[in-house]
Chain A
Amino acid sequence: MKMIWSIPVAVTCAVLASTAFAQSVKAGPRAEAKNMKLAGYNDLQARSAYQPVIVEQKGRWIAYVGHHGGERLNPMTGQREYNGTSIVDVTDPKKTKYLFHIPGEEGQGETGGAQMVRICSGRDLPKGDPGKFYMLRVFGNQAHELWDVTAPERPQLITTIVKGLKSTHKNWWECDTGIAYLVSGPPDWRVRRMTKIYDLSDPANPVFIRDYGLDGQQPGAAGQAPFELHGPISAGVKRNRVYFGHGNNKYGILQIVDREKLLNGPREVTRENLLYPQISRLDFPINSGAHTVFPLLDMEIADFAKSKDSKRDFIFVVNESILDECREARQMVWIVDVTQETKPFGVANWTVPEASGNFCGRGERFGAHASQENMTPIYYKRLMFVTWFNAGLRTLDIRDPYNPKEVAYYIPAITANTKPDPTCVKRRDPATCKIAIQSNNVEVDDRGLIYVADRADTGLHILELTGPARKIANFK
């Protein structure tokens, strides 16, 4: 365990190493910040991190972090373990406590690890044990697993939901219904990733519902297949919508789906059945992907108050930068008006100005990747947090979605753990590859703390808003 005390903005971080499990970490260059400050830190055993999820669990706050592939020493076991899932007690963000590492699949980057993780409480799940907590995670690209994490320091595998896959990715699990949308690569589909829908209302007894994807991705279809799925976000039973984002730094597609028709419609994989629940599909410009598609529904636009119809629905779309040193088109944020669902229309965009930090020259990736997915009323429809790789975490005021404005940012300092971009190392003399922060994914908890996970092994930074940006949030 290591600690970084909460410090004033733009002051060099003081790194205080402590327990027997810690390796020494040198303070890197300064963190850069505006209206955000560091509230805590954990180095995650220097594992490349993807998805953080933070849950209140019987009075404790537990962070589950999915890792990309790699192999690191677990100081708690003294063993080198393939990157899997980190479980960290963040009840006191100033004193984060690493509880357990569940190893993942062998392999580097997206070929191994256990990048995705979701948690549901047994009292929310229709057939869960009310005293238990359940973790859904991927095992590399092969399988989806269910774990009992009621005691987070002693997670127990309950069952493997499905295995023999070619790929996995960003799942969604509805805790109130148990329906899970598992991003999967069955061998017979024409794309690397599609959705396997399961009923996990009883976590020990997964029930397969159907395979789903865009028409053209299914086995036997003809022509160019639409680009692979990235991940869905469900608006749940009430709104009856599931939003699917496809593509990474290219071929982005937003698909709006009728949830009820998706779950109860004819399941056989035919063109007709795949199209049946589809309400609409919006194809992005060739050079833009759609990594996260986060719904912002029933937004009241203050400036429209005197006009007819001031309420609108939007999807906040985040592209994924996948190439280092700007060797691609800029990956950024798009806001799509879906008030008229059958005719989604892009209305706004946002990017970090490159010149504000010479980010193309800093090394590694520069561009958008993911937003938070927790809809806590502290931030929902007010602030969006977007990871921007070497530009750290960017905080946007989206109360007027036609005009997103940056109100805060935090770029963590690199540490001795931070590694260069793997493609740069392959492409040229590694000594010439610059090392930069790679803020990969972000999540917020119901206390309003913000968690940023680093792809380049820098760990997990816990942040809080300060100043005018904090006033935009709804802290009661």
Chain B
Amino acid sequence: MRINGWCEKNRCLLALLREKLPFSRQGEKGFVLWVRKMKAKKAGVCALVLMCTVSAPLAKESIPDNTRAAARNMKLVGYNDLQGRSAFLPVIVEQGGRWLAYVGHQGGEAVNSLTGKKEGNGTSILDVTDPRRPKYLHHIPTESREQAGSGGEGSGALAVQVCAGKDLPKGERGKFYMLRSVGRESQEMWDVTDPANPARIAVVVDKLKSTHVNWWECDTGIAYINAGLPDWQVRRITQVYDLSDPVKPVLIRNFGLPGQQPGAPKPPSVRWRDGHGPFSTGPQGNRLYFGYGNIGDGAFQIVDRQKLLTGPPEPTAENLLYPQIAFMSAGKRQAVHGVYPLLGMDIAEFAKSAKGRVRDFLLVMPEAIESECREEPQMMFVVDITNETEPFGVGNFRVPEKLGNFCTRGARFGAHSANTRLTPIFHKRVVFVAWFNAGVRAVDVRNPFELKEIGYYVPATTRNTAPSCVKEDGRQHCKTAIVTNAVEVDDRGYIYIADRNNTGMHILELTGAARKVANFGK
């Protein structure tokens, strides 16, 4: 919005105004009262000041008000409370003329308003055809009731992927299939052709120790399932399945880092590098990008997809290395949660240089896991992978803490994950990154050497928002803040963010200058 742009530019002026005005002696309360008074008057510049106050933090000392949304170049289109469930991954699919959002939940339980029953968090299915009025269609429960908010990794049914039968090589045309994780134990296949009445059609795998984000290639049916296997020496690895026929899962191989396989000696650095789910560029790109580790000592790996799928499957160190093109440690301070490839980027800045104009990059996202910054800062890195075998860090993106006093707002502050849908509206232009208590950040990636934030949206907390608690010197204190957990986009250009601490799902759109960076066509 133009007003927000004005606010950004006039931040100093606003801070000055705030300090010089008579109510400043009455402190924050006086200021808020004055703001309310002005709101009533809706007068010229004062209204501008007011809107800025609401939407952007001002002076350094200001106490963040988590009950108000903050935004720049992004606005709220619609909202659903997801029954107050802790949410992880939203996936949005066009299905027979309707737009549906499938949201994977982390553990916990809540009353399903459609059935009136208390249900363990599972999968929410919503009709978002009209994003202003999302309609909650169905909740598929799980038995997993462990809470996510209180520090545990509640694994309700956090991973969800949807493919159309017309895309899957052996799928039934007209049908839609949903792959979801269930607790830490299993992966299920559902028929969601009628999203209000989903039906389970297969258990892909069960008796697992852990689950996490999956990747399912709709055009081939190959799925990379994040799984904890009893005999592997790490919490989570990747099970590669052929799900081209959704009711007849075929295991292709188990894959992890050398040293994680059954029977291997167990170096401590490998123990913590649990798989966090890959990003596949499919048969054409023939690459998989894997992120490892969520409590520091992260790493990422570039893998030859063809070699992974057709190479010798026995989990020996040699066979695990065979498809690997490169492996890079991000250092002991940095976790690697998500990865996002930006391939064949034509860099305008280098247009007149004879070499090095078109380059490949990987965005490497960590995961903040501690509340109130009781950890190293977790930022996003940009890695040049033009020369695939020698990845090289070239840049970073982070939300400056001081812009919103994010370390004192409560909950986690840091990057977590980016959108994974490569719609031409946003791909190679704008990447959205979930930044926990700093909401979602829209990043201009047209020049990966110089990432720029062009918009953000930090939702307001609601009555549903669960507090995040911290123990210090034996005493616990809790603060209630937004915890934007994951983000996805749809092919219409809407942006969906899901909250880990039960605030629900916000549907957003870009506005102002940020919208012009995207490619909405004519």
Contact = CB atoms under 8 A, between A and B. Distances in A.
A345 B393 contact: yes
Interface stretch (A262-270, A306-314, A382-390): A306-314
Given A285-B387, A307-B376, A309-B376, A360 B331 contact: no
A351 B449 contact: yes
Interface stretch (A6-14, A322-330, A437-445): A322-330
A343 B329 contact: yes
B393 A329 contact: no
Nearest to A306: B407
Contacts of B376: 304, 307-309
A246 B224 CA distance: 41
A108 interface: no
Interface in B330-357: 330-334, 349-356
B96 interface: no
A354 B349 contact: yes
B353 A326 contact: yes
Interface stretch (B109-117, B171-179, B285-293, B394-402): B394-402
Chain A binding surface SS class: loop
A348 B407 CA distance: 23
Interface in B389-422: 390, 392-396, 398, 400-402, 407-408
Contacts of B392: 283-285, 346
A50 interface: no
Contacts of B449: 349, 351
Contact of A402 (B384, B387, B396): B396
Contacts of B146: none
B349 A351 contact: yes
Interface in A326-354: 326-330, 334, 336-337, 339-340, 343, 345-349, 351, 353-354
Contacts of A402: 379, 396, 398
B464 interface: no
A345 B379 CA distance: 13
A306 B353 contact: no
A272 interface: no
A430 to B, nearest CB: 21
B193 interface: no
A429 interface: no
A360 B377 contact: no
A304 B386 contact: no
B395 A349 contact: yes
Contacts of B350: 329-330, 354
The residue among A304, A307, A348 with the most chain B CB atoms within 10 A of its own CB is A307
A308 B407 CA distance: 11
A361 B398 CA distance: 35
Contact of A306 (B379, B383, B401): B401
A285 B386 contact: yes
A329 B354 contact: yes
Contacts of A340: 331-333
A374 interface: no
Contacts of B393: 336-337, 345-347
Given A328-B353, A328-B355, A330-B349, A285 B329 contact: no
B352 A360 contact: yes
B383 to A, nearest CB: 8
Contacts of B381: 345, 347
A339 B333 contact: yes
B438 to A, nearest CB: 13
Contacts of A327: 354
Contacts of B384: 285
B332 to A, nearest CB: 6
Contacts of B329: 343, 345
B386 to A, nearest CB: 6
B235 to A, nearest CB: 22
Contact of A308 (B334, B351, B375, B450): B375
Contacts of A348: 394-396
Contacts of A334: 394
B387 A354 contact: no
B249 to A, nearest CB: 38
A305 to B, nearest CB: 8
Interface in A80-138: none
Contacts of B390: 283, 285-286
Contact of B387 (A286, A307, A323): A286
B408 A287 contact: no
Nearest to B384: A285
B132 interface: no
A54 B58 CA distance: 46
Contacts of A303: 377, 398, 400-402
Given A309-B376, A329-B353, A346 B394 contact: yes
B398 A307 contact: no
Nearest to A282: B392
B298 to A, nearest CB: 11
B373 interface: yes
A363 to B, nearest CB: 13
Given A346-B392, A347-B395, A349-B395, A360 B373 contact: no
Contacts of A336: 393
Contacts of A354: 349-353
Contact of B354 (A309, A326, A403): A326
Nearest to A302: B402
Contact of A345 (B331, B374, B377, B402): B331
Interface in A270-308: 283-287, 303-304, 306-308
Nearest to B332: A340
A328 B377 CA distance: 36
A217 B59 CA distance: 56
Contacts of B450: 349
A349 B392 CA distance: 11
A307 B394 CA distance: 23
A343 B269 CA distance: 13
A308 B378 CA distance: 11
B180 to A, nearest CB: 35
A99 B137 CA distance: 88
Contacts of B349: 330, 351, 353-355
A475 B346 CA distance: 43
Given A308-B373, A343-B331, A330 B356 contact: yes
Interface of A: 283-287, 303-304, 306-309, 323, 326-330, 334, 336-337, 339-340, 343, 345-349, 351, 353-355, 360-361, 402-403
Given A328-B355, A336-B393, 9 more contacts: A306-B373, A306-B408, A326-B353, A330-B350, A340-B332, A346-B392, A348-B395, A354-B352, A354-B353
14 contacts: A307-B401, A308-B374, A309-B333, A326-B352, A330-B356, A336-B393, A345-B331, A347-B393, A348-B394, A349-B395, A353-B349, A354-B352, A360-B352, A402-B379
